[in-house]
A and B are shown apart, each in its own frame.
Chain A
Amino acid sequence: MRETLTLRGNNALLTRANPLAKFVSVFLITLVLALSIDMVSASTALLGELALFPLAGLTVRLLWQRGWPLIIAAALGGWSTAILSADSGRILLDVGIWSISEGSLQLGLGFMLRGLAIALPAILLMSCTDPTDLADALAQKAKLPHRFVLGTLAALRLVGLMAEEWQTIGMARRARGVGSHGSPPQRFKAMLGQSFGLLVQAIRRASRLAVTMEARGFGGGRRTWARESTYSRLDLWVLAGGLFIAAAAVLAAQWAGTWHFVWLKQG
């Protein structure tokens, strides 16, 4: 858990870009993909994103390790769209109430590709951006309130601790005779108790951390930054890249005639 939140060992090019530039690029791509449901724009964006993998130091294996829930969700979404949406064109598969036609298959594929194309940039961003750098950029460049940004960052550190604590509390409770055996309601009750135990510990830790931060002078109106969040020429390229992928997706779909705003009725 803790290891996945740090980037040690990743020296890829995109780790040196300003997190805010990366953030804006990802936002652009995601925005365009949210506007239309069609296969062409989604697959164009997906291709562009896959090309960026090496630049972010991401491999297919790492991608699967970090993003498997999103990838499976996209696949399931595509599958259910394909079997449940209204049929059009030739029927390819017919099993009782479920059927897949050319039209529904296309819609399903479009849905899946879009899911992937929207999820990938987020994974890409996470895998080449250190949370500390992101916080620096959000507070210094995007001018978000530093109390909020640094508070969140400090809390993020506790998340890894909480994962360890969950395991410990689970064992401690088994040692009291509260087990993970029994009927589903009993298990649910046991889990509720364990969650409560974790919540108590989380609140304790959080309030002690808050005292630590306050005692170090946190909470004033102004502060300086030991590390300046800066832009470089690389960030221009990052923005241009994001813009390029977004524009390519729109233009390709326009050219293929598949561009379709989500809020317009299916023709």
Chain B
Amino acid sequence: MPSPDSGTPAVVRPAAISAQGWGWRHAGRTTQAIHALDLDIRRGERVLLLGPSGAGKSTFLHALAGVLGEEGDDADETGSLLVDGVSPKAQRGRAGLMQQDPETQVVLSRLGDDVAFGAENLCVPREEIWKRVHEALDDVGLRNSASGNFALDHPTSALSGGQKQRLALAGILAMRPGLILLDEPTANLDPAGVLEVRDAVGRCLDKTGATLVVVEHRVSVWKDLVDRIVVLQPGSSSAPGGSTPGVLLDGDPDTVLAQARDMLTAAGVWVPGYVPATRPRSGTAAGSGTAAGPGAGSGGELLLATQELAVSRERPRRRGFKTIPPLPVQAGLDAEVFAGQALTITGPNGAGKSTFALTLAGLLAPVSGTVTAAVGLSDGAGTDPFKWKAQQLISRIGTVFQEPEHQFVTGRVLDELMFGPKHLGHGEDRVDELLERLRLGHLVDANPYTLSGGEKRRLSVATVLAAHPRVLVLDEPTFGQDANTWAELASFLSELLDAGTSVVSVTHDQEFSSVLGGTEMRLEPSFQGGARQEAGAA
């Protein structure tokens, strides 16, 4: 089918959405993911969709994109959901969908091909495709722009997360969709990437006038770009047959945010200007710290230190009989980790923050330089954490990875928590306390993979702490978390700090680091610019 608007550039007919009593139950589930939704979105409207996790927001976007699978194979649809009066499945290319994980938003390995992919599938003629590809890349700022100027055969794997998401947007624009659907498009990005993507979306909407539906926790990012906010009711609480409406609140951003501020903050939504209350560090005034040096406050015993450390994720390569060390992403790093004190590692993407943290945590071998555990930490296991056995490691340094699923080793929440203590032969008594403290008690029998994002994060922190490490290393612990999980995590960590654990975190989140206090170590991307730990606060 030839595209209706081939030939004339930038003619986009915005789409209208109408949901009437619409509901969807996924195959194999007993309750509906979304229930009795009545919602009309006019042509060209820009809507921010909010609601607690489990409200069926993603399901709604997938349905609008026509990728929800077939009814029948045990899935169940009720009511009607129409785009321009027609079922979304019947009109491929009318809507474009961007998801959260940048890696899976890229289809092909060359930049130009990837943008062309959607247009090709819609049978757009060849000359028209390349015109659209150029235009779309211009619009998202990946060509002829200060924020990027790439050749058409640039490898897509060499793009940053924010660039990948802008590339995905270009691929969507090249289809000339009347409806753009964004499913937490910036949840995996650093602050610079978030703005990059948000601004590109804004420019493209101004140009095409397409309808927008975006799902996102961080309201402040999208507030000024949208002209309507819709808050959904959680799906589970509205039992099938009940009279609870699918939509809780609906209106222009300021009104909805004013009306529902308390409700939204309670539901963990990041409302602009709201920082959730957290437990302050004892002994320091709200994290800003007293002028005392190390050794003051709680303990201050030196646990771990690095000297002239160079780090890389890559292993040394063998070429014949020679061993070639990898090129370090950072070198000359000196840092010290004290008991009861926080160390925050900050800096832009690609600066090697995570790599440094993982090396510090004994998970990566240093390229050069040393990581030395003090006697108080090593406890007879030797000074080099990388040489420790896995079981020696977990009772000394615990590491929480950015993606909780990477660390799940069993099929049940309780087994997951008991795993460390069982192997160490002690510490099982602490599991109950952790279950209660991190609100996982009602989930003990659940499969870790089926938990919500916030629950997974809390579980991954709990499992690592169950082994009683004196040093806790966290890689972007607050990425993509709702405000409630954020506050719980920050409060819990400040408690741990006061109890003498030392907390090393890699983060972009300034509010988070100011709750924890301690020192900040900023890494710059260039290999030359080795960073030193500066005495920030405390």
Q: Is the CB of B107 within 8 A of A154?
A: yes
> Which of B104, B116, B400 has a CB less than 8 Å from the CB of A208?
B104
Binds A, one of B33-41, B137-145, B210-218, B387-395: B387-395
B456-467: CB near A (< 8 Å → 1, else 0) gives: 000000011001
Q: Are A224 and B124 neighbours in the complex by a CB distance under 8 Å?
A: yes
In the complex, residue of chain A having the shortest beta-carbon distance to the beta carbon of B116: A226
> For chain A, what secondary structure do more than half of its interface residues adopt (helix, strand, loop), or is it mixed?
helix
Asked if residues A176 and B405 are in contact (CB atoms below 8 Å), the reply is: no
What is the CB-to-nearest-CB distance from B105 to chain A, in angstroms, rounded to a whole number? 6
The interface residues of chain B lying within 8 Å CB-to-CB of A8 are 153, 155
Asked whether B389 lies within 8 Å of A181 as measured between CB atoms, the reply is yes
Chain B proximity of A189: nearest CB distance (Å): 11
Q: Does B424 contact A (CB under 8 A)?
A: yes
CA distance A209 to B156 in the complex (A): 15
Chain B positions 47-99 with a Cβ under 8 Å from a chain A Cβ: 62, 65-67, 92-93, 95-97, 99
**Of all chain B residues, which has the CB nearest A222?**
B123
Q: How far is the CA of A172 from the CA of B401 in the complex (A)?
A: 7
A150 smallest CB distance to B (angstroms): 8
The reply to whether the CB of B103 lies closer than 8 angstroms to some CB of chain A is: yes
Give the complex CA separation of A117 and B391 in angstroms.
Answer: 50
Across-interface contacts of B389 in A (CB, < 8 A): 179, 181
Q: Which of A41-49, A89-97, A213-221, A254-262 contacts B (4 or more CB under 8 A)?
A: A213-221
Asked if A205 is at the interface of the complex by the 8 Å CB criterion, the answer is: yes
| Size of A's binding interface in residues, CB under 8 A | 50
> Which chain B residues numbered 89 to 125 have a C-beta less than 8 Å away from chain A?
92-93, 95-97, 99, 101, 103-110, 112-113, 116-125
Q: Given that A157-B106, A218-B121 are known contacts, is A211 also in contact with B62, CB under 8 Å in the complex? A: yes
Q: Is the CB of A215 within 8 A of B97?
A: yes
The stretch that binds B, out of A22-30, A50-58, A193-201, is: A193-201
Contacts of A214 in B (CB 8 A): 66-67
Instruction: Flag if B118 contacts A174 (CB, 8 Å).
Output: no
User: Cβ of A66 < 8 Å from any Cβ of B?
Assistant: no
Least CB distance from B317 to A in Å reads: 10
Q: Which A residues touch B105, using CB under 8 A?
A: 212
Q: Which residue of A lies closest to B157 (CB)?
A: A2
Instruction: Determine if A215 and B126 form an interchain contact, defined as CB atoms under 8 angstroms apart.
Output: no
Interface-forming stretch among A119-127, A160-168, A233-241, A245-253? Answer: A160-168
In the assembled complex, the Cα of A228 lies from the Cα of B127 at a distance in Å of 11
Q: Verify A173–B104 contact, CB threshold 8 A.
A: no
User: Does B103 lie within 8 Å of A161, measured CB to CB?
Assistant: yes
Q: Give Cα A179–Cα B362 distance, bound, in whole angstroms.
A: 12
Residues of B within 8 A of A172 (CB): 399, 401, 403, 406-407
B340 at the binding interface (Cβ < 8 Å): no
The closest CB in chain A to the CB of B109 belongs to: A157
Question: A216 touching B390 by the CB < 8 A rule?
Answer: no
- Shortest Cβ gap from B284 to chain A (Å): 29
B409 at interface by CB-CB < 8 Å: yes
Q: Are the CB atoms of B121 and A173 closer together than 8 Å? A: no
Partner of B107, one of A167, A209, A224, A227: A209
Q: Does B130 contact A (CB under 8 A)?
A: yes
Residue A32 CB within 8 A of the other chain: no
The docked-state distance in angstroms from the alpha carbon of A56 to that of B150 is 27
- Asked if B175 and A226 sit within 8 Å, CB to CB, the answer is no
Residues of A within 8 A of B136 (CB): none
* A243 proximal to B (CB < 8 A): no
Asked whether A216 and B107 contact (CB < 8 A) given A176-B419, A223-B121, the answer is yes
25 A/B residue pairs, CB under 8 Å, sorted by A: A2-B157, A6-B109, A6-B155, A154-B108, A168-B406, A171-B401, A172-B399, A172-B401, A172-B407, A174-B393, A175-B398, A175-B407, A177-B420, A180-B390, A197-B405, A197-B406, A208-B99, A208-B101, A212-B105, A215-B95, A216-B117, A216-B118, A216-B172, A225-B126, A228-B126
Beyond the given pairs A172-B401, A226-B129, 4 more chain A to chain B contacts, judged by CB atoms under 8 angstroms and listed by A's residue number, are A132-B113, A177-B391, A224-B124, A226-B112
